[in-house]
A and B are shown apart, each in its own frame.
Chain A
Amino acid sequence: MRGLRGFVVRRLFLGLVTLFVASLIIFAATQALPGDAARSFLGRSATPESLAELRAQLGLDKPLTTQYWDWISGVFTGDLGTSLANSLPVTEVIGERLVYSLFLMVIAAAISVPLGVALGAVSARRRDGVFDQITSVITLGLAALPEFVVGIAFAVIFSTTVFSILPSVIVTEPGVGPWHYPKELVLPVATLVVAVVPYTARIMRASTVEILESDFVEMARLKGLSERRVLWRHAVPNALAPTFQVTAINLAYLAGGIVVVEAVFNYPGIGLLLVYAVRGRDVPVVQALALLIAGLYVVLNLVADLATILVSPRLRTSFS
């Protein structure tokens, strides 16, 4: 198992380096650019006094290196500064919204990953058959559509004009989690599922097709195993590895999709918060959310690497 531990440590280290550089980029984009945060927040109403006061509050009067240090050390101690919009600590502003967004993403992932894997595997098994062709056309079309197009199409079809059966906007009270509104969750979850499934299904199909042609699958067939057993016990586990990689990247991009989907359905998560924070030029909140999203990407990639080792028989044995 030493090989595996070394691998994990190396990946963790690379992830930290990525996060460090990402934090530099976020800092440079928000605080070191010529247009300064205090001026853009106050806008035209700025008086020299209020400008100086806000600059001092944001630490903009200090040298850049000190500013960065203050920010990044705050990240480690859980002090992300104060929101300019409502003077609450940023951690409190983000707080439960992060939980709500993760809840949405986890449900979407729990539905779309098995669905994509199954669609891909069955398409590969019946390669160039009717099912495969239809799936191929549909996934190609859906993969191209932007999330907000899918979301609004769902809203038009299911909640307004055509069938009026599902609510398209979630109205929550503070402190009441979205899981108390199962009906309102259907459309946002469905939109995210539509955003992920096409990629998972396509990569799963491609890698299963490749593996179905390999020698060991031929071997399994020659042993007289049923075609179903060959597919699900021998081909699919080996095809999962590349699928997990692609799915992890897609789930990470869900963090981008979630911004749009939350805006479409008014879902009270970090995506909607980011839109509001950018609109209100609430720089401390934007910085925290951007770092959070980059962190999510790094973590998901790490999880995908580990899952790849755990599911693929060949790699698992080479590490033990």
Chain B
Amino acid sequence: MSVIPADAAPVVGDGERHRPWRVLLATAWGQNRTKIGVAITASLVVIAVIGPFVTPYPPDQGVEGQLPFASPSGDAWLGTDTLGRDTFSRFLAGGYTVLVLSGLSTAMGVALGVVVGLTAAYSRGKLDDLLMRTMDVVLSFPQIVFALILAATVGPALWLLVLAVGLTTIPRAARVVRGAAVEVVERDYVRAAEAIGLSRRRILFSEVLPNITSPLVVETSLRLTFNVAVVAGLSFLGFGLQPPAADWGLMINENKNGLVIQPWPVVLPVVAIGLLTIGTSLIGDGLARAAIGIERGRQGRE
């Protein structure tokens, strides 16, 4: 029953105020869905990271004595794919690209989204309108379509995929950041920082940003979930890694026509991608619930 409002700590440099995300993570961890999400995500990350080093066969070469779409056997545990390559080896080797590409594009999109959102919230007026209207326009393209437009002239390239998915992440992150920051920029400690003449960049990143970490962390996990889907979808469509590389999305694309005779090279990556998105979204949901809980508790105290 504290009588002091939680945000009444205008002292610049106060330690606790700068670490609300620790409270958020601890509260989120208290929920079963977060733990299940972390367990699922972590196991897939382990498979994707260690997998390439423990493949029974070279993932990009046919297994001797095996025909294409061979059924599971002692030699190839989960059978072979459309070119007679070992399904299990390709599965082990093909996970890290999805993780790296979706991770990079989310990091890029959220970082730039923070810059745009904070700038819009702090400057208000014309610049705010201009930035947010521009974000709205980018929103009018579904992420996959935007990536396809770029791929049409440049061709399929991994940097392009990261760029396209990252760029389309910006407006979504920027909206959330702006929404949260609009109210923070009005607070006393921001006024105090302005009064002592701190630079705009300093105010935005060391005064405003630490106070919007909760919605930012929640949004980042949501964006990661969507970006895993977009990256895997693009490589399923053939615009990610190019053959003969091993990649989960590409595996589905290559082996789709053999689904009736040999489902494993399709089922395995489909299940892995599905579990990965479910895992990250459980984490996101746990974080979101924790953030709402903390907010309610704070209002209750006031």
Interface residues of A (CB under 8 A from B): 17-19, 21-22, 25-26, 29-31, 33, 35-37, 40, 140-141, 143-149, 152-153, 155-156, 160-161, 168, 252-253, 255-257, 259-260, 263-264, 274-275, 277-279, 281-283, 286, 290, 293-294, 297-298
Q: Which one, B19-27, B46-54, B55-63, B141-149, is touching chain A? A: B141-149
In the complex, residue of chain B having the shortest beta-carbon distance to the beta carbon of A296: B140
**Cβ of B139: which chain A residues have Cβ within 8 Å of it?**
297
Task: Give B103 Cβ to nearest chain A Cβ, in Å.
Answer: 16
Does A156 lie within 8 Å of B148, measured CB to CB? no
Does B270 lie within 8 Å of A149, measured CB to CB? yes
Does B149 lie within 8 Å of A30, measured CB to CB? yes
Does B233 lie within 8 Å of A260, measured CB to CB? yes
Contact with A35, one of B154, B230, B259 (Cβ below 8 angstroms) = B154
Contact with B148, one of A40, A286, A294 (Cβ below 8 angstroms) = A286
B189-240 contacts to A (CB < 8 Å): 225, 228-230, 232-233, 236-239
Does B141 lie within 8 Å of A294, measured CB to CB? yes
Does A148 lie within 8 Å of B239, measured CB to CB? no
Q: When chains A and B are docked, how far (Å) is the Cα of A87 from the Cα of B228?
A: 37
Q: When chains A and B are docked, how far (Å) is the Cα of A31 from the Cα of B141?
A: 18
In the complex, residue of chain B having the shortest beta-carbon distance to the beta carbon of A292: B145
Q: When chains A and B are docked, how far (Å) is the Cα of A181 from the Cα of B267?
A: 27
Known: A29-B153, A275-B238. 18 other contacts (CB 8 A): A18-B137, A37-B153, A144-B277, A145-B274, A145-B278, A146-B228, A148-B233, A149-B232, A152-B256, A160-B259, A161-B259, A253-B142, A259-B145, A260-B233, A282-B152, A286-B149, A290-B149, A293-B145
Task: Give A161 Cβ to nearest chain B Cβ, in Å.
Answer: 5
Contact with A298, one of B140, B228, B273 (Cβ below 8 angstroms) = B140
**Cβ of A278: which chain B residues have Cβ within 8 Å of it?**
148-149, 151-152, 239
B238-269 contacts to A (CB < 8 Å): 238-239, 252, 256, 259-260, 263, 266-267
**Cβ of B266: which chain A residues have Cβ within 8 Å of it?**
152, 156
**Cβ of B134: which chain A residues have Cβ within 8 Å of it?**
21
Q: Mark B271-290, 1 if CB is under 8 A from A, else 0.
A: 00110011011100100000
Does B149 lie within 8 Å of A29, measured CB to CB? yes
B136 located at the interface, meaning its Cβ lies under 8 Å from any Cβ of chain A in the complex: yes
Q: When chains A and B are docked, how far (Å) is the Cα of A148 from the Cα of B237?
A: 10
In the complex, residue of chain B having the shortest beta-carbon distance to the beta carbon of A137: B33
Given A145-B278, A160-B260, does the pair A283, B142 have CB atoms closer than 8 Å? no
**Cβ of B238: which chain A residues have Cβ within 8 Å of it?**
275, 279
Given A274-B145, A278-B148, does the pair A40, B154 have CB atoms closer than 8 Å? yes
**Cβ of A294: which chain B residues have Cβ within 8 Å of it?**
140-141
Task: Give A210 Cβ to nearest chain B Cβ, in Å.
Answer: 13
B138 located at the interface, meaning its Cβ lies under 8 Å from any Cβ of chain A in the complex: yes
Does A40 lie within 8 Å of B273, measured CB to CB? no
In the complex, residue of chain B having the shortest beta-carbon distance to the beta carbon of A277: B152
In the complex, residue of chain A having the shortest beta-carbon distance to the beta carbon of B141: A294
Contact with B277, one of A19, A35, A145 (Cβ below 8 angstroms) = A145
Task: Give A127 Cβ to nearest chain B Cβ, in Å.
Answer: 15
Task: Give B291 Cβ to nearest chain A Cβ, in Å.
Answer: 15
Does B273 lie within 8 Å of A155, measured CB to CB? no
**Cβ of A282: which chain B residues have Cβ within 8 Å of it?**
152
Does B278 lie within 8 Å of A144, measured CB to CB? yes
B120-143 contacts to A (CB < 8 Å): 133-134, 136-143
**Cβ of A153: which chain B residues have Cβ within 8 Å of it?**
270, 274
In the complex, residue of chain B having the shortest beta-carbon distance to the beta carbon of A152: B270
B155 located at the interface, meaning its Cβ lies under 8 Å from any Cβ of chain A in the complex: yes
B150 located at the interface, meaning its Cβ lies under 8 Å from any Cβ of chain A in the complex: yes
Does B274 lie within 8 Å of A283, measured CB to CB? no
Q: When chains A and B are docked, how far (Å) is the Cα of A145 from the Cα of B277?
A: 6
**Cβ of A33: which chain B residues have Cβ within 8 Å of it?**
150, 153-154
Which 3 pairs of residues, A with B, have the shortest CB-CB distance?
A256-B142, A144-B281, A146-B229
Q: When chains A and B are docked, how far (Å) is the Cα of A26 from the Cα of B141?
A: 10
Contact with B232, one of A21, A140, A146, A155 (Cβ below 8 angstroms) = A146
Does B277 lie within 8 Å of A40, measured CB to CB? no
22 sample A-B contacts, Cβ–Cβ < 8 Å, listed by A number: A26-B149, A30-B149, A35-B154, A37-B153, A40-B154, A140-B281, A145-B274, A146-B233, A148-B232, A149-B273, A149-B277, A152-B266, A155-B259, A161-B260, A168-B259, A256-B142, A259-B145, A259-B148, A274-B145, A283-B152, A290-B149, A293-B142
Task: Give A283 Cβ to nearest chain B Cβ, in Å.
Answer: 6
Does B233 lie within 8 Å of A275, measured CB to CB? no
Task: Give A68 Cβ to nearest chain B Cβ, in Å.
Answer: 15
Does A30 lie within 8 Å of B237, measured CB to CB? no
Does A140 lie within 8 Å of B137, measured CB to CB? no
Task: Give B135 Cβ to nearest chain A Cβ, in Å.
Answer: 11
Q: When chains A and B are docked, how far (Å) is the Cα of A156 from the Cα of B220?
A: 32
**Cβ of B133: which chain A residues have Cβ within 8 Å of it?**
17-18
In the complex, residue of chain A having the shortest beta-carbon distance to the beta carbon of B231: A146
In the complex, residue of chain B having the shortest beta-carbon distance to the beta carbon of A151: B270
Q: When chains A and B are docked, how far (Å) is the Cα of A36 from the Cα of B281?
A: 39
Given A145-B277, A146-B229, A161-B263, does the pair A260, B236 have CB atoms closer than 8 Å? yes
Q: When chains A and B are docked, how far (Å) is the Cα of A236 from the Cα of B225?
A: 31
Q: When chains A and B are docked, how far (Å) is the Cα of A252 from the Cα of B232?
A: 20
**Cβ of B237: which chain A residues have Cβ within 8 Å of it?**
259-260, 263, 275
Q: When chains A and B are docked, how far (Å) is the Cα of A195 from the Cα of B267?
A: 20
Does A148 lie within 8 Å of B149, measured CB to CB? no
Given A29-B153, A141-B278, A146-B277, does the pair A274, B148 have CB atoms closer than 8 Å? yes
**Cβ of B154: which chain A residues have Cβ within 8 Å of it?**
33, 35, 40
**Cβ of B233: which chain A residues have Cβ within 8 Å of it?**
146-148, 260
